Every structure is written in structure tokens, then in C-alpha cells.
Amino acid sequence: MRTYRHPSSADDGIWFKTGLFALLAGLAFWIFQQFGGDKKEESLPKVESPREAPATCRVPEDILPTSTTGAVVRHTYYVLSYSEDHEQAEWVAYELLRERLQQPWVERFGAFRPDPDVRTESATPRDYSGSGYDRGHLVPAADMAFDAKAMDETFFMSNISPQVRTFNGGVWRELEENIRDWAKRMDVLYVVTGPVLTRPGLGQIGFNRVTVPSAFYKVIYAPQQRNAIGFVIPNAMSDRPLLEYACSVDEVEKITGIDFFLRLLRGAEERLEADADKTLWPTSSRRYERRLREWNRE
């Protein structure tokens, strides 16, 4: 026959220690969740899956490159492939149309902010604070100045990459302005831009460890003229003429591991990937002189 034993003070001590241990373990787990691991520095709502291509997305599917990450995000006027390992897009793709460039420009505006459509969460503006690098647009805000929404979407951090200031405001600016000239002359251009992430970078910045690319590229295709050209430019100040950085699409593909205009450049058109006829892409000598005189010193 089992006898009843009244709880002793020893039992009380065991229960007290067990409860205390559970309390401390829970506190430690909470601290880790708040300050440890890979949690983003800002408390942002989780997005379970990327948004489907919006009905208003106006980027033709045929112009999109291959994605090495599978994280393709569609905005209204540009599409990107996000690299979580580097916390920036590996490419952005969009149309540049003469008719849009000839419209009155909206006032430049937009707040740098995380991209809500990046499933893994994008970098944040604070990653760049005090880094010494510019928040460099991949899709230039000026290319989207025809529409307030188009302009605003260029300030998503998924469209931003760390750039040396005299690169961003120098040779890269010169290339962007020449591309707008080409679009006005050729009527339509398909543009793909991104950082070179296959080469060692210049380090990392911010809480989210954003890679600082050592170079950037652009690939441009003029469908009406059936001509294409590429550029690969180091992320540094440059005194060299712009066309010295020009190359074939094939060369950019070898450097980046990305296939460009796969659906457009087929059969006989594949020759456009191997050739880069610089004479069809004239640059402004006055703009180059201004870069040397002013932009490289700002």
C-alpha cells in the first residue's frame, strides 16, 4: 500500500530551480532572436512569397536575362533578379523609349526604402550610412522621370548598389546620359544593368553585409537597328574615354555568367552577341570633357 508523502522543502527547491532555469532559457532565446543570428536590423514585415507580375508591369518578357538566383521581382517599369548573397540585384532590365524621354520630367523624388517584394528582404538605407559609398541606382531615376510611380520605384533598395562617388557621378553618369541620347536617336532600347558579382568585391558594408562590387556592366540592344553593345567599367574614378570600356555581349556574359536577350538573339541574330560595332554608338566629346573637368572632382 502506497503511503502519501507530504512535499518537502527539498521538493520545493527542485521546482524553484526548474522554473528559474526555464525562465532564463526563455530570456536567452528572446535576446538571441532580437540581437543575434541573421535577423535584419530593421523590423520589417515578412513576405511569404514574391508578388505575382502586376497587371501593370510593362516590361516585355522577351528582354529578360537568365536569373542565376531564381528571385525575379517585377515592378511596373523594370524587372530585377535579386541576389540575397550580395544584398542587391544581379541585374535590372527595362525598356528605354524615346516617347517617354521626351515627356516633361516629374520632379525628382522618392525615399530610399527596402523592397517589399523581395522575399528574403532587401538591404536597407542604413546599410549605406557612413560607408563612404553612394547609393547608386541601377535603373537611373532620370530614365523613369516620365512618371511619378516609375520614378518612385527606382528608390527601392533592390535597385541600389554601392558605388564610389566619383564613379557614380563620373564615368557611370556619362554612360547613362549617352544611353538616353541613343534611345532618342534609335527610338527603343532594351537595357540590362548590374554589378559584376563573379569577381572579388571591394568589401562589404552595413549590418546586412552588402557586397561592394569591383565593377558594373550594361548591355544594350537596339531592336529596330538590330545592334547590341556591352560595357564593363571598374567601380572607380576614370579618366579614360567611355568607348574604351565597350565590349561585345558575349564578353559580358563570360564575365557575369548571365545570358542576355536569349529569346531575341537567336539564329542569325547570334552574331550580334559576338560583335560590338562602336561606330553605331557615338558618344559626346563635350560630355567627356565635362567629366574630366568637373564630375571627377565633385
Active site residues: 137
Could you give the C-alpha distances from 14 to 5, 10, 17, 49, 60, in angstroms and in order? 16, 6, 5, 47, 69
Q: Is residue 212 within 8 Å of residue 201, measured between CB atoms?
A: yes
**18: its cell numbers:** 526548474
Contact predicate 78/123, CB 8 Å: no
